[in-house]
Each structure stands twice: as structure tokens, then as C-alpha cells.
Amino acid sequence: MRRKTKDKIIHITFFMIALVSILILALIMIFLFMEGFPLLQKVPVLRFLFGDQWYPTYEPPEFGIFPLIIASMSVTALSSLIAIPLGIMTAVYLAEIARPQVRSIVKPVVELLAALPSVVIGFFGLVVVAPWLQDTFDIWIGQNLFNASLMLAFMSVPTICSISEDAIYSVPRELKEASLALGATHWQTIGRVILPASISGISTATILGMSRAIGETMVVLMVAGGAALIPTSIFDPVRPMPASIAAEMAEAPFRSDHYHALFAIGIVLFLFTLLFNIVADYIAEKHKQVGAATL
């Protein structure tokens, strides 16, 4: 009887903690939509999303965030092209190739990189990478889309690597041994057995890495260049959505159209992140079902 009571108390405690977390997230979302919708009542949604002029302090003001959306998507896409192969290949090396002594050293170092403050990474991109890009590619400014993508890739690799490595490492040993017993080489086993079996975790890691890239603020604020223009080159300065919110919120008069416009940008950013997470859950669940059917 005492054990049942104890289990029930533990169950209720964890339920209440989860409920509080959900409630806090719900309140944040409600506040975000309450502060952002007044602008959408004055500016048509399509004009807000696809307008190419962002001049919130002009008379009359222009609230077109299409350049900001393009900047966010471009930075996220380019950083993903860099981070995803590096993260997955590092995960494969740690899980299947590296010796235990090497893995015990490299894995904590990779996870430690994830703990680096974003302002430190942004400062590195501003002081070291930006002058190097200017000198190497003979461009007029080193704070640009490519610089921001490099720094975001540097931030995303530890997340992708750590989660992917855990997914690969958790593949049942019997699958690997069965493949080797049938005559497959180690590389064939990795490519045709281990990676397909762990694709659910790898997909989740990839989407989470992209979510971190699109939502990062300090790095893009410091090294993206801050120009609210549609980029025509990877070396053009840009201003992603999080950078606009961080740079302008302190200057926007309280409850002004500019103030509400920044919250409306936050709504768009929230929807993008939510979409990434829904896609991650869908892919993970789909591959889980395929894997279970295969087994």
C-alpha cells in the first residue's frame, strides 16, 4: 500500500512539472500573438510577408519582412549544407571507427563546443573570420551571409553530432554482426545497415540543428551585416529575423506599430521553428514504423 502511494505521488509530481512547463510555453505563445496581431490588423498579411521594404521608422512606415525571411532561410540552408555532413560524419567516426580511448576524449570535447556562448562564437566571427574573408575573397565587407553561415554551422555541428552519435551507437549489435557474418565489409555495414537503422535519430538531430540555426540571435546580429536586403551573393550582408528583433526592440516605442511589427516577426519565426519540429517528429515516427516493420 505504501509503495502504491509513493508511486502515485511520484506520478502526480512529474505530471504537475510537465503541466507547468506546457502552461509556461502556452502563456509565452499567447503573449507573442497578442502583441503581434495589432500590426497584422493594420498591414495585410501578404504585404507583411512578401513586401520587400523594411523601413519601420519612415513616414509612412514600410513593414515588409520578405528580405528578413529570405535572409533567415538562406543562412539556415547554407549553414545546414556545412553542418549536416560534418556532424553526421563525425558521429559515424565516433560510434563506429574511433577507438574507445579516442572516443572518450573527442566526444566530451564535441559536447563542450555546444556549451560555448553564442556571443563568443559571434566575436570570433567578427574579429577573426570577417577580416580573413575580406583578404581571401577580396570583398568589401566580411560581415555577410557566408560568415554567419559558418558560425551557425560551427554551433550546429555539436548538436547534430551528439544526437546522431547516440542514435548510431544505440543500433542493436546483432544487426551489425549479422551483416558482417553475411560477408559485408565494415563500410557496407555502416552504409546499408547502421545508418538506415539510425535514420530516425539522425533526422531528428538534423532538424534540431536547423532549428537552432534559424532561431539564433547573437551570432547573426554580430556577423551577418545587418542589411535588410534580398541577397544576390553569399558575400552580401543580410539581416535575419532574430537579428532584427534584437537590434530594434530597444528602440521601438512601447505599443507602437514598430513594436507590434517586431512581435509579428516573432510569430513568423515561431511558426518556422514549430514547422521544423513537426517535420522532425513526423520523420522520426515514420522511420520508427518502417524500422519496426522491417524487424
Query: At 102, is the pLDDT very low, low, confident or very high (cuts 50, 70, 90)?
Result: confident
Per-residue pLDDT of 195-207, as tens digits, reads 888 888 888 888 8
pTM, 2 dp: 0.85
Question: CATH classification of 46-294 is 3.50.50.60, yes or no?
Answer: no
What pLDDT is attached to residue 288? 60
The torsion defined by the Cα of 280, 282, 288 and 291, in degrees rounded to 10, comes to: -100
Close Cβ partners of 126 (under 8 Å, ≥ 6 residues apart):
143, 222, 223
Give how far Cα 56 sits from Cα of 133, 220, 242, 247, Å: 32, 20, 16, 13
Residue 249 scores a pLDDT above 80: yes
CB count in 10 Å sphere of residue 80: 22
**pLDDT for position 1:** 61
Domain boundaries, the chain: 2-42, 46-294
pLDDT above 60 (res 165) = yes
- Model pLDDT for residues 127-162, shown as the tens digit of each residue: 999 999 999 988 888 899 999 999 999 889 988 998
Give me the amino acid identity at 249. M
The whole-chain average pLDDT of the chain stands at: 87
Residue-wise pLDDT for 210-245, tens only, equals 888 888 888 999 999 888 889 999 999 999 999 999
Q: Is the pLDDT of residue 293 over 50?
A: no
The per-residue pLDDT for 262 is 93
